[in-house]
Structure 1
Amino acid sequence: MTRANPPSAVDLEAQGITLDQQIPAHAVIRDVPLIGTTENVTLTTTLLAPPNGVAERGVVLFTPGFTSSQATFYPIMGFLAERGYRCITFSQRGQPGSSGPSHPEDYPLSALGNDIIVLLDELGFASTPVHLLGHSFGGVVATEAILTHPTQFASLTLWNSGPKKMDDDFAGLIKALHTQGPRALWVKDRTDAGLDPDADLNGTLNNIEQYYFDRLMATNPAQLEAALTILATQQDRTEALAEIRTETGLPVLISHGAQDDAWPIEWQREMAQALNAEYWVIANAGHSAHADRSYISAQLLATFWDTAL
């Protein structure tokens, strides 16, 4: 008889268990000041070591995407720790739990990428090759870190993340953000999904919806505007990544859910081909494959990292 996989993040949410409540046992949350950043940024960080008796195979740093936080990776961290990977996840500057400047110009892509380097230094991994994963917008930031410090990393995974700017109405979103605040993004997403955009005002959100609403509202508006601006002007850096691959042999994985609806899947596939990278499509998963297929995602990632050692 085939043994069923453990429940995914989506399965647990259906039971009313929010992402932050899915934090693995023995995980440690730390606020890490980034010494040397002119904005005096402090990042909230969650660390999980392999359990006793499991040999450590490597260190992984997860970079969250737009309107996200460190908790988005909780559903896969426990599985990866069991495979021997020390896991680190964090909220980017301005995301929930992390401090951030009040002006969008203090969130340039160069600073976001450098935050990754400084964070690893502060955590004691400056001389340790780290497997870097970036989800969605986090992939844009991870690419920046790789291009500026390629020898810091053992591999790069672009997880449901594309190579260049999409055709979304980023200018309209930024305008709405200016006039209505972060809630404007919530209203748009709810309207697009055919859901009541005013459920937060009516007090009819369930606890899972409330979690995502609160997460958005806890994000610094300057960070949201800066991220939208970066996405609106995203340049294709595939050629630069290919040069890094040629020079260093850096292993690269491009992976997305089969139903990913952010960057066009064709773009992600073409990027993988141009990089001669590993390319995996996760069935029955959307833009957040780690939430839709948590156990499968973790096993696939561990398999890639095992071969990238």
Structure 2
Amino acid sequence: MNTGLRITAFAAALAATFGTAYGVGRGVDPVFEAAPGHAAPGRAAQQPDGHGGHQEEAAGAAEGGEGADRGAAGGLQVSEGGYTLDLDTPTLAAGVRSEIRFAIKDEHGRKVTAFQREHTKELHFIIASRDLTEYRHVHPVRAADGTWSTVVRLPDAGGYRAFADFTPAGKGATGLTLGADLAVAGDARPQPLPPVRDTAAADGYEVTLDGTLPAGKPGELKLTVSRGGRPVTDLQPYLGAYGHLVALRSGDLAYLHVHPNEGGPGPEVSFTATAPSSGTYRLFLDFRHEGKVRTVAFTVHAGHAGS
């Protein structure tokens, strides 16, 4: 009998009800401002389909960088501020290209069709596995009736979280990140959280991470891109910026979305981020070079604000 956990639609409902987390990582060695600990063994970040975690590649005109995140972590609630993420496809099959359909609904249950465009898109859709070893940043298409759809292939069975990052249209509207549970059917074998390292690689590129991620106050993170030992000085704008950084907190997958400080086009991309609490986080950096988007990932530990 296969020892893996069989994920079913019933299990998906159970996960949605109780917020079950798969593969929560143990304490890891600090590289920033953490208490002493030991790194758990783990696998390197996966880049399925040769897209570095992306299902779409798009260029955008360079815009002024944004240094600060939106504030407190998002994605922990399916409803907030009168808006709800209605995920019409809560279960997928492992290793199969599948369509995900969803809608953003207002307090009256109506599908929202008007959004503010941010970083060249009306809505950004993030999918991450509960063990934080799989990650997708996709940009679905909206139908006239407000239904969004996109095609993804998630190679591993298990629990996932889907995030919708958007700002409704209208004066004074604020940005929201809503989250909903997603299950991929099959034999699930959650992985340990990848260990803390200050370098990550993808498609022949190497990215070095330096800086601090304190809890409760801003910290600067510097990521330097190189290839073949040489700095990459001609990064290309992707979605209006030279880099995008998403941080997810291990355990509950609290979501932070930050954008780079002014600078570019490389080799260094600098971000300012505020962790809502101390703990272990997984950082996912998207960057574009020679017409292709790559994603690298880091495990970091956020320390206390006064440390």
| TM-score interval for Structure 1 and Structure 2 normalised by the shorter chain | under 0.3
If each structure's helix is expressed as a fraction of its own residues, which one has the higher value? 1
As a proportion of its length, which structure holds more strand?
2
Q: Which has the higher contact order (CA 8 A, sep 6+)?
A: 2
- TM-score w.r.t. the length of structure 2 is 0.24
